[in-house]
Every structure is written in C-alpha cells, then in structure tokens.
A and B are shown apart, each in its own frame.
Chain A
C-alpha cells in the first residue's frame, strides 16, 4: 500500500500538490487524471522520489520512503514514460535488462529474464533480442518499455502517459495487453493520463485531480454514476453523463455476436479461437445456443492440458442479465462480482449478446 500523508509540493510559489491524503491499495491499477498542471505527474514522481515533497510524507507498506536510499528505491519500482524512454544506443536486451544490470544480477540470469519478458509481451526473443529501438514500431517500443519496467519484478509500477504518443489503434491494443498483463501479475500500477476513455478502461480506481487536489477517488463505475463534484462531471464529459446508465437498455448496447464455443471443444481449440478473434474470453453455448457458462484465457492457461475439454474448466455460475435490464444494473454486477463481462440471455436461457467493460466505456463515452 502506498499512502500519502499531508503531502504538499510547491515549485517556488506554485502549489503543484496541495495537502494530499490518499492511499493506493496493493494490486490495484490506480489512474491519476486531470487537466495539465493538476499535479498528477508530480504525485506520480514523488512516489519514486524524482520529486521530493515540500511537506508531508509518503510511505510504501508502512516504510517512509524518505528514509530510504532513492537509487535503491527506484530500482525496486518499475517506471514507464512516453515512448522516447527506451535508450536508442542500447539494444532491446540491454534496455530490458537494465535494472537487473544496475542491481548486479549475473549475466546468465539476466539473459534468461529478458527472454522470459519478451515472450511475456508477445515478442519473439530470437527476433528481437539483438535489435535496436529505432528498428521497432512505436507500439513495439512501448511493449519493450513495459517489459523493462517489469524486469526486476517490482511490486509497484509507475506509468506516466505511456501510450500518449501512439496512434489510437496501437494505443487501444496496448491498453488491452496491459489489462491482460495486470490480470496475470497483479502489481500496484499508478498510471497517469489525460484521456478519460483510457482511465475508464484501465482503472480499478480513478483519482480525478485539479489544482493539486484529488476531487474524487473511486471506481470507474462509481465515478460515471455519481460524480461527486461539478468539475468531475464536466471533466468526464457531459456526453458520457447525459447517458444516465439507468436509462440505457442492455439491448441497445450489447455486442450481438459474441464469440462462442461448444463445451466439447478442447482447450487448445479455445485458445486458438481467442487468438484468432482477439478476445480473452469465450461464451460457452450448446448446439441450441443455450448459454452454459464462460471461459477466460486465464482459465485456459491455468489448467492448460491439450486433452482437457472446455466443459472441464468452464465457469458455470455466471451472472446474466436480460435484454431489458439497464446499464446501471450491469455496472453494479460488475462492481460487486469483480467481473468484466456480463452475458445477456433471454427467458429460454439462450445467449443473445454480451456486455463487456470496454463496450460499456465505449457507449458511455460516445458523443
């Protein structure tokens, strides 16, 4: 847990962060968002002591970070900045292995770790190990940036507008990948952005900041539903709020052709299908398209055995909604059950659609 106690940062007379008191829970993705000059980047940079607070204290798991050696502290916190953060004079392996190198990890172990991480971010080690950043696309570079931040297996990762310089499509792909990675590693991620869609998509909790203060610190669902403050409302965007979730019917926004699979297929086939359709979960239906349950990429990977069938790892007790339910109900199911997908079924238990967290964001965020 990272906790800020009465933290103030002044640059000369400008108050960048104003008496901040907040706690970030371990394992959550926290997104700091607000207009320029709101103090979000300053808040982030105080966590690894790139900026020292003028007053107050910050502690990580109870230890006051001002009593630690800043160089050691930073080596134990992952750090990702905009895509220019890779060192152009170092190859990919050197870039990813940098923090382990600084920590004097022996070379053989470093090599192993680099290869592991390249595979982790879906880049073939034999192809990329010896390449240089300028030979990679922006999206690939930032994947390396994320891998580099994970290299020393830190508990906390700071990300300062990591996807800001990317085109919208690459950006969205990398956001999906980050969500996927976070599902697997469960780190504490502090993420700064000025893009509300990005915040809604990635965050477990969003801190909306203005003039050095946090105006609201809540889950994305709660912020959309109950903005605490006029500014928050304005910042989220009228368009998003006009569509009061209570008045939006599931039928109007659901994905009408979710990717399905039969319970008799093997896990290998399920994985192939996910890969081909670029989804991380499949709806399991029988031959009459009756909904039986769902299966996620994690379920498959955790139980991976080629001979297993889908019905052996299926999640059967999944909350479902009907087509005429409203989005507010869906939001509370998602919040309570901690799930990202809610299947839509009719009264005969037939699957008619699917609501995902990102489809909700798209709809609530569309102008």
Chain B
C-alpha cells in the first residue's frame, strides 16, 4: 500500500510534523484554559458581562476557519503566531461556556451550606464550585481539543506547519497517500488526546463524584 510506503520512507518527517501539530494545538488549548477558565468564572460573578462575552466568543466560532486564517494574514503575517491566535480563539468558546455553565449549575444549596459554615468566597470557589463543575469544564476542554486538532491542519495554509502541510501538498500534487499521511495521524491524535484527557478528568475527579465503573 502506498500510504504505508510513504510512512515507511518518511518517518522523521511525519514525526516532526506530529510534534509541530501538537505544539500548535497544545499552545492554543493551554492558553485557552489559562484565559478561558478564569473568564468563565468571572462572568458567573458579574452576570452583566456573561451575555456579551459569550456572544463574542460565539462569533469567533462562526467565522469559517480558512477565512479567519486568511483575514489575519495582513495583520499578523504568516507563521505560527497567526495560527496559534486563531486556534486559541476557536478553543475559547467551549471552555468559557462550559466553565460558566458548570459553575452556574452547582446547586445553590451547596453554596449556601459552604457559606453558612464560614467559607470565604475563594474557599467556596476552590472547595465547592470547582470540584463540582470539574466534569463540565473538562468536557469543554475535550471538545475544544478534538476540534482544535482538526482545525490545526488548516493552519498549514498560513505557514503554521503541522500535519496540514502534508494534506495541502498532497492535494496540490494529486497524491492521495500524502493526504492520508497527514489526515490519518491527525485523526488518531484527536482520538488519543480525547482518551488521555478522559483519564486526566478521571484522576482529577473527587472520588465521591466519579461514576461507578
């Protein structure tokens, strides 16, 4: 099979592209968590901010990704920087929205119990709200990651690198095995990333909330 041959003949190329791909997605997702989770928490505290911020995050989601990359080239030029910014903005919505929803859905009785026993607002957040909304927040991170690994293939269009390079080159050269050599590892990455995050979620989850196996 020509796909196997292609992989056999270019192992280091594939390996480097996978690493590059992970680097792009990883940077985008980590920044989206670092910014998105606190943002999601803040908008549960300042309800007036919730709607506008969620609306803005949704707008990013509606712009077709290839157009979004293209639109940013005149501003940021080509390269990884542009790619990561777009990927970050795509990842933001599921993370902000799930953090917001997860925390809002913590039962008011739980918060009342915490406050009534003398927890400060920070302690309520750390000891009650975050542990109880963890699975919803993690679901957002997983969705963002899986989608992002797919979207990262398009980042090659703006010179971001990653497995998308093989796909674009394969399309231009009419070489299906090259397209597949980019697409199959990307799909596998998405599946593995989801599994690994599922495991992370399970380990982070307090025992009393874990679903019985």
**Which residues does A use to contact B, with CB under 8 Å?**
48, 50, 71-76, 79, 81-82, 84-91, 98-99, 102, 132-134, 148, 158
Contacts and interface: CB of A to CB of B under 8 A. Distances in A.
B132 A74 contact: no
A75 B119 CA distance: 8
B16 interface: no
A71 B118 CA distance: 5
Given A89-B131, A132-B208, A50 B116 contact: yes
B105 interface: no
A73 B117 CA distance: 9
B123 interface: yes
B113 A79 contact: yes
10 contacts: A81-B116, A85-B112, A87-B127, A89-B206, A89-B209, A90-B206, A91-B207, A91-B208, A98-B117, A132-B207
A91 B209 CA distance: 10
B112 A50 contact: yes
A87 B112 contact: no
- Max chain B C-beta neighbours (<10 A), residue from A75, A88, A99, A133: A88
A82 B113 CA distance: 10
Given A133-B208, A134-B208, A87 B116 contact: no
A99 B123 CA distance: 12
A92 to B, nearest CB: 9
Contacts of B112: 50, 81, 85
B118 A84 contact: no
A193 B68 CA distance: 60
Interface string B122-137: 0100011001100000
A79 B117 contact: yes
A82 B109 contact: yes
A74 B117 contact: yes
Contacts of A85: 109-110, 112-113
Nearest to A158: B116
B176 interface: no
B109 A81 contact: yes
Contact of A102 (B107, B117, B132): B117
